[in-house]
């Protein structure tokens, strides 16, 4: 042991890297290597401890997080297209809401536009159908009126159910009226007035004999009722367009379940 110590000292003296001019070069390298090795050891120990303490669920979540971040940062083409169309719909609906309040550009015509919307409301149509049904004395008239009443009731229930599911609000903060609460027409999608106007116009065109000018006026009335809801700020453009589609589908449904004259007479006798 004593003989080996002088030999190691002699080797250190003869080593060129141990000279004074090379000490400044050797020390940073040794410090970096030590810091790197210590950092690796600490990270390795921490990783081993974390791997031992973590559960399989946490490992799966940590593996899924980068993928979820990538999905959020890179949305699909369908998502981009849908968001773009939605933004265009909201922007155009706000521009067309010229009667949304008294301070709007067409605020003075708000009462007239509201009156036009009332002509497509469900309560006046149901009340008028019941009055006509009581006064009707022909079997054909009672059959048409009973099926019209069925169509109006189906329209209210279907639109109310769809609005409860969608729960979409209008472009402006416009409170529904009393008649809207009676028919549960409190949300924007789909537009109940538009669906009712489309269904009624199609129903009358198919089951009433009308002159060509009256048929044109009936179609124009349905369009004006639908887009009047956009003008007062209650619905978006897509709400009105979807209302027209649902109104046509409701008409087709009533045609499929059309009640015969005998069934109508039986229901009238019970009533």
Question: What's residue 109's pLDDT?
Answer: 85
Q: Where are the domains of the chain?
A: 108-270
pTM: 0.69
What whole-number distance in Å separates Cα of residue 27 and Cα of residue 192?
A: 82
Q: How far apart are the first and last CA of the chain?
A: 121
In which band, very low, low, confident or very high, does the pLDDT at 143 lie, cut at 50, 70 and 90? very high
pLDDT exceeds cutoff 70 at 32: no
Higher local confidence (pLDDT), 183 or 192: 192
Confidence of residue 9 (pLDDT cuts 50, 70, 90): low
Confidence at 108, pLDDT banded by 50, 70, 90: confident
Residue 193 bears catalytic tag: yes
Map residue 15 onto helix, strand or coil. coil
The per-residue pLDDT for 75 is 65
- Summarised one tens digit per residue, pLDDT across range 82-98 is 788 888 888 988 888 88
Q: What is the rounded average pLDDT of the residues 66-93? A: 72
Contacts of 223 (CB under 8 A, 6+ apart): 197
Q: Which of 249, 252, 202, 242 is nearest to 222 (CA)?
A: 202
Sign of CA dihedral 109, 110, 113, 119: negative
The residue ranking higher by pLDDT, 73 or 209, is: 209
For residue 51, is pLDDT > 50?
no
Residue 121 a catalytic site member? no
């Amino acid at each position: 042991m004593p003989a080996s110590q002088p030999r190691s000292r002699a080797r250190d003296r003869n080593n060129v890297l141990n000279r004074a001019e090379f000490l400044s070069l050797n020390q940073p390298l040794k410090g970096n290597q030590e810091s790197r090795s210590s950092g690796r050891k600490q990270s390795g120990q921490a990783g081993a401890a974390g791997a031992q303490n973590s559960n399989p669920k946490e490992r799966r979540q940590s593996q899924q997080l980068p993928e979820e971040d990538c999905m959020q940062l890179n949305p699909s083409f369908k998502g981009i297209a849908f968001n773009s169309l939605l933004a265009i719909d909201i922007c155009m609906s706000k521009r067309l809401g010229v009667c949304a309040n008294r301070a709007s550009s067409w605020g003075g015509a708000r009462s007239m536009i509201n009156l036009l919307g009332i002509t497509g409301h469900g309560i006046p149509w149901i009340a008028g159908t019941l009055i006509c049904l009581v006064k009707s004395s022909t079997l054909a008239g009672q059959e048409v009126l009973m099926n019209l009443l069925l169509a109006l009731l189906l329209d209210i229930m279907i639109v109310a159910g769809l609005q409860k599911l969608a729960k979409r609000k209008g472009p402006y903060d416009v409170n529904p009226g009393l008649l809207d609460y009676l028919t549960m027409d409190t949300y924007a999608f789909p537009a109940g007035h538009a669906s009712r106007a489309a269904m009624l116009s199609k129903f009358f065109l198919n089951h009433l004999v009308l002159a060509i000018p009256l048929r044109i006026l009936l179609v124009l009335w349905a369009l004006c009722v639908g887009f009047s809801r956009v003008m007062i700020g209650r619905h978006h453009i897509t709400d009105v367009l979807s209302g027209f589609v649902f109104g046509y589908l409701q008409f087709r449904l009533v045609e499929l379940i059309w009640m015969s004259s005998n069934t109508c007479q039986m229901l009238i006798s019970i009533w």
